[in-house]
């Protein structure tokens, strides 16, 4: 037996043993697309791919496609990838999505990938103009672009989310989820369009990603653990935020966040932790680490705000009950649009503990920024603004 034959046998053994085989490709054009709206075709091609034996791939080639609200679910018989190389367009009228919480929802899938050079266009302008949440606590919420719910071992790679009506992405109840070279784009005036919101998920990574939107670039809800945000460009937007938290009584703790090698440009906030006052939530926030961050003309570069109350739609009669501890701001440089470039407003009922400012070199109009501190005594190492204690809130 020659060497070529031996190599072929070995490769065949490896493919069979470890399942490293080429995916079966399911072309959406064979399921009724393109024919105007592809909602039904997408549901049909997903079912066929999900039910096939072994790894499968749904392919949407280049072109422009319309699609309404849809939910696709697992479990599937093997790993499944959706490769989108075209542009998928949501209805412009929010009512056409029939109150769907998310426009496109993927649920209960293990080993899922969304990839390609495609664009998901939420056509959010009408929804932004109708948004009255600044005046109305009970405002109607428009649909988000994506819902990723209860996925394990998932990847979103190279895709673009454009002009969502609400949040671009909601990650809920997921484990081992990676965003890599993902793009979020919407104007600064697009209300409530958080880039990626994560809730009750473990081991989520956001890597090499560009987010420009009208709200938080990345936001963490309750129950998040082992979250990494690395090599992310944020702007416009409201920065990278933990919270807001504490509004509800059964929230879960948030712990183990690393934000590293990120650049924030012309954002309203930089890196931020925010909790509501006068609310029932009590679960702690701990092990938050913000490192190697560049701020470019950021309004509030470093902020802990335990009196978070947007649009003054809440009471500040009693302090937040959420304990914040083990927070590091390290190697943070750049420019602030305000003199108070570091704002640490902690709760008087549970003051922050273990907050460290390590080499925080921010300037405002060429001079070092100030640090405003309430109910916290930060550990200062290296170069950092002197923390001036303010009257307890």
Query: Which residues are annotated as catalytic?
Result: 238
Rounded Cα distance, 270 and 343, in Å: 11
- From the CB of residue 389, how many other CB atoms can be counted at a distance below 10 Å? 12
DSSP symbols for 193-222: --SEEEES-EEEEEEEEEEE-SS-SEEE-T
End-to-end CA distance of the chain: 82
Q: How far apart are CA 333 and CA 341, in angstroms?
A: 11
Query: Taking the mean position of all CA atoms in its chain, how far away is CA 13?
Result: 40
Provide the token pair at 108. 């209960």
Instruction: Report the alpha-carbon angle 339-340-344, nearest 5.
Output: 170
Find all residues with CB under 8 Å of 27, minimum gap 6, and list them: 45, 59, 61
Nearest by Cα to 228 from 199, 206, 211, 248: 206
Give just the sign of the alpha carbon dihedral 244, 245, 249, 254.
positive
Annotate 297-323 with DSSP letters as a single string.
EESEEEEEETT--GGG-S--SS-----
Q: Are 357 and 344 in contact (CB under 8 A)?
A: no
């Amino acid at each position: 037996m020659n060497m070529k034959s031996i190599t072929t046998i070995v490769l065949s053994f490896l493919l069979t043993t470890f399942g490293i085989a080429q995916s079966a490709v399911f072309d959406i054009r064979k399921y009724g697309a393109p024919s105007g709206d592809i909602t039904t075709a997408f549901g049909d091609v997903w079912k066929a791919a999900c039910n096939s034996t072994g790894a499968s791939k749904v392919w949407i080639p280049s072109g422009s496609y319309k699609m309404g609200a849809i939910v696709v679910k697992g479990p599937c018989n093997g790993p499944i990838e959706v490769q989108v190389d075209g542009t998928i367009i949501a209805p412009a009228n929010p009512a056409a999505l029939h109150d769907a919480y998310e426009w496109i929802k993927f649920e209960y899938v293990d080993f899922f990938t969304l990839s390609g050079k495609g664009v998901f266009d939420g056509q959010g302008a009408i929804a932004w103009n109708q948004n009255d949440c600044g005046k109305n606590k009970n405002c109607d919420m428009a649909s988000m672009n994506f819902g990723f719910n209860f996925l394990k071992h998932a990847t979103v790679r190279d895709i673009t989310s454009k002009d969502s009506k609400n949040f671009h992405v909601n990650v809920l109840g997921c484990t081992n989820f990676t965003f890599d070279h993902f793009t979020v784009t919407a104007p600064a005036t697009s209300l409530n369009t958080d880039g990626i919101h994560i809730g009750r998920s473990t081991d989520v990574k956001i890597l090499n990603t560009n987010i420009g939107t009208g709200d938080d670039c990345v936001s963490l809800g309750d129950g998040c653990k082992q979250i990494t945000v690395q090599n992310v460009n944020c702007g416009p937007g409201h920065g990278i935020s933990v919270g807001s938290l504490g509004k509800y009584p059964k929230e879960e703790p948030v712990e183990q966040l690393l934000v590293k090698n990120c650049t924030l440009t012309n954002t309203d906030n930089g890196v931020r932790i925010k909790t509501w006052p006068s609310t029932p939530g009590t679960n702690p926030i701990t092990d938050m680490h913000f490192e190697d961050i560049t701020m470019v003309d950021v309004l509030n570069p470093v902020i802990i705000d335990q009196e978070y109350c947007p649009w003054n739609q809440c009471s500040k009669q009693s302090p937040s009950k959420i304990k914040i501890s083990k927070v590091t701001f390290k190697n943070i440089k750049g420019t602030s649009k305000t003199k108070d470039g570091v704002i640490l407003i902690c709760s008087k009922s549970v003051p922050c503990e273990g907050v460290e400012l390590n080499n925080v070199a921010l300037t405002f109009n060429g001079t070092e920024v100030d640090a405003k501190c309430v109910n916290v005594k930060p550990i200062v190492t290296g170069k950092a603004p002197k923390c001036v204690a303010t009257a307890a809130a």
